[in-house]
C-alpha cells in the first residue's frame, strides 16, 4: 500500500462524508477509502505499544482485568467527522484505541494515576462528569511512536465492569435497531432507559463485590439500600430512577429483545471460542440474515487482514444490515469478554437490570409502598 501525505489524508475524510459519494464519483470514493485504510493502518504499531503499557499496568491492580484494542471502524470514523465540524481524518485522536476493564472505580483510578506517572496523557473524566447519554469511563490520549514515521495519538479507555456492560448494551441496540444512542440520536424511550440504567449501575457499584454475587443477593442488597438510604434526596432519586427503569424495561421488552439478539449471533460465539492463534479475526455480521462470516489472520499477516477489511467495509457501506469489524484474537481476558457487542452478549448488563427489577418489586410490595406511591403518584 502506497503512502499518502497529511493533506491527502484530510482530503480523503472530506470526500467520504459527501452524500452518495460512492455513486456520484466512484473513482474518488475508491481512492479515499484506500487513503483511509492506509491512515488507519499507520496506528497499528503505536497501538501495540499502548496495549503493552496498558496491560502491564492494569494487571498490577486487577489480575482479572480485560484488555482489548481496536482500529476505529469506517462508519464510526465518518459519523464522527460529520458530527464534529472542523475535525479532519488526520486530526482524529481515537483512530487507534484500547481499553482496560477492571472490577471497580477504585482500581480504575489507581490504574489511571499509574499511567499518568509513566507517560504524559491528556485526560477526560466521564465518571465524575458522565456524558449526556449516561456514558461513563476515563479517557486518556497520548502519542506513541510509529517507528520512522513519527508518532500517532492513541486513546486508552479505563472502565469498570458495570460501565463496560452498559456501553456494550448501547452498542448492541445501535447495531440491531439502527439507532445511534451513542450519538444522542434515536428513540426517546431508549435514550431515557440507558440514562436511567447508567445511574442505576453507578448506584449498584457502591455495593461491595457487586459483580461477584448472585442476582438474588444483588437484588436484596439493592432493596436494602433503596429502603434504608440515610440521605432523603439520594433515596428519592434512587427510588424514582429504579421505578422509571422498571417501567421502561417492561415497555421496551428489554430481556426478550436482548436475548433474541444474542441467539441470532450464536454462530459467532461458537466459532470464535475455538480460535487459538495470535492475530486477527475479520467479522462480517449480516443482521438481516442472522449470519456471521469469519476470516482468521495470523499476526504477521496484518497487511492482508487490512486489505480484506477494506473490501469488507466497502460492501458494508452499501449493504443494509451488514456490520464488519477486525478484532484482535489475543485480547487479554478472551475475545468474548473484550468484544461482547459482536456476540450480542448483554448477559452482564441484564444481570444488573434484572436485579434492579426484583429490588423494585420487593420495595413496591413492602410496607413502604403506600408512602412510595404517595411520593410519586
pLDDT in tens, 24-39: 999 999 999 999 999 9
Residue 58, domain member (yes or no): yes
Instruction: Read off the pLDDT band of 339 (50, 70, 90).
Output: confident
C-alpha cell at 234: 439520594
Residue 112, domain member (yes or no): yes
Residue range 170-199, pLDDT digits in tens: 988 888 887 888 877 888 999 999 999 999
Residue 36, domain member (yes or no): no
Q: Which residues contact 95 (CB under 8 A, 6 or more apart)?
A: 39, 40, 43, 71, 72, 77, 152, 153
pLDDT surpasses 50 at 59? yes
Instruction: Read off the pLDDT band of 265 (50, 70, 90).
Output: low
Residue 57, domain member (yes or no): yes
What does the pLDDT average to over 250-265?
85
What does the pLDDT average to over 133-159?
92
Identify the weakest region by mean pLDDT among 19-28, 220-229, 259-268, 338-347. Answer: 259-268
Instruction: Read off the pLDDT band of 334 (50, 70, 90).
Output: low
What's the total number of domains in the chain?
1
% of the chain exceeding 70 in pLDDT? 89
- pLDDT for residue 88: 96
The CATH number of the domain holding residue 300 is 3.30.460.10
- CA 334, 340, 344, 348 torsion: positive or negative? positive
Identify the weakest region by mean pLDDT among 79-93, 258-272, 345-359. Answer: 258-272
What does the pLDDT average to over 260-275?
65
Tell me the sheet residues that pair with 285.
292, 323
Give the Cα-Cα-Cα angle 281, 42, 76 (nearest 5 degrees).
60
Residue 111, domain member (yes or no): yes
- pLDDT for residue 276: 62
How many Å from the N-terminal Cα to the C-terminal Cα in the chain?
65
pLDDT surpasses 70 at 16? yes
Identify the weakest region by mean pLDDT among 24-33, 47-56, 80-89, 209-218. Answer: 209-218
Helices (H) and strands (E) in the chain, counts: 16, 8
Whole-number mean pLDDT of the chain? 87
Q: What share of the chain is helix, strand, coil (3-state, %, to 5)?
A: 60, 15, 25
Identify the weakest region by mean pLDDT among 15-19, 46-50, 94-98, 267-271. Answer: 267-271
Give the whole-angstrom CA distance, residue 289 versus residue 300: 32
Instruction: Read off the pLDDT band of 376 (50, 70, 90).
Output: very low
pLDDT surpasses 50 at 243? yes
Residue 23, domain member (yes or no): no
Full residue range of the structural domain in which residue 213 is found: 42-376
- pLDDT for residue 178: 78
- Contact between residue 135 and residue 183 where contact means Cβ atoms under 8 Å apart: no
Amino acid at each position: 500500500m502506497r503512502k499518502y501525505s497529511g493533506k491527502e489524508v484530510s482530503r480523503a475524510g472530506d470526500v467520504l462524508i459527501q452524500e452518495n459519494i460512492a455513486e456520484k464519483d466512484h473513482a474518488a470514493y475508491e481512492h479515499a477509502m484506500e487513503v483511509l485504510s492506509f491512515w488507519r493502518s499507520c496506528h497499528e504499531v503505536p497501538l501495540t505499544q499502548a496495549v503493552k503499557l496498558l496491560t502491564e499496568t492494569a494487571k498490577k491492580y486487577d489480575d482479572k482485568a480485560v484488555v482489548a484494542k481496536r482500529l476505529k471502524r469506517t462508519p464510526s470514523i465518518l459519523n464522527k467527522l460529520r458530527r464534529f465540524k472542523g475535525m479532519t481524518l488526520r486530526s482524529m485522536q481515537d483512530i487507534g484505541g484500547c481499553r482496560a476493564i477492571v472490577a471497580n472505580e477504585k482500581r480504575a483510578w489507581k490504574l489511571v494515576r499509574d499511567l499518568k506517572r509513566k507517560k504524559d496523557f491528556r485526560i477526560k473524566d466521564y465518571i465524575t462528569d458522565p456524558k449526556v447519554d449516561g456514558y461513563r469511563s476515563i479517557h486518556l490520549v497520548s502519542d506513541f511512536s510509529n517507528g520512522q514515521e513519527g508518532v500517532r495519538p492513541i486513546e486508552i479507555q479505563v472502565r469498570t465492569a458495570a460501565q463496560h456492560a452498559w456501553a456494550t448494551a448501547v452498542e448492541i441496540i445501535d447495531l440491531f435497531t439502527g439507532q445511534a444512542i451513542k450519538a444522542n440520536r434515536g428513540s426517546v424511550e431508549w435514550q431515557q432507559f440507558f440514562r436511567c440504567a447508567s445511574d442505576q449501575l453507578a448506584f449498584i457499584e457502591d455495593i461491595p463485590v457487586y459483580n461477584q454475587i448472585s442476582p438474588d443477593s444483588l437484588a436484596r442488597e439493592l432493596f436494602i439500600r433503596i429502603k434504608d438510604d440515610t440521605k432523603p434526596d439520594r433515596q428519592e432519586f434512587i427510588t424514582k430512577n429504579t421505578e422509571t427503569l422498571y417501567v421502561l424495561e417492561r415497555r421496551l421488552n428489554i430481556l426478550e429483545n436482548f436475548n433474541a439478539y444474542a441467539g441470532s449471533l450464536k454462530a459467532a460465539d461458537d466459532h470464535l471460542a475455538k480460535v487459538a492463534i495470535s492475530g486477527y479475526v475479520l467479522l462480517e455480521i449480516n443482521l438481516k440474515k442472522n449470519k456471521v462470516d469469519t476470516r482468521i489472520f495470523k499476526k504477521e499477516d496484518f497487511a492482508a487482514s487490512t486489505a480484506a477489511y477494506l473490501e469488507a467495509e466497502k460492501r458494508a457501506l452499501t449493504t443494509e444490515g451488514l456490520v464488519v469489524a477486525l478484532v484482535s484474537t489475543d485480547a487479554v481476558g478472551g475475545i468474548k469478554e473484550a468484544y461482547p457487542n459482536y456476540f450480542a452478549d448483554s448477559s452482564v448488563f441484564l444481570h444488573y437490570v434484572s436485579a434492579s427489577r426484583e429490588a423494585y418489586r420487593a420495595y413496591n410490595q413492602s410496607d413502604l409502598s403506600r408512602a412510595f406511591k404517595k411520593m410519586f403518584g
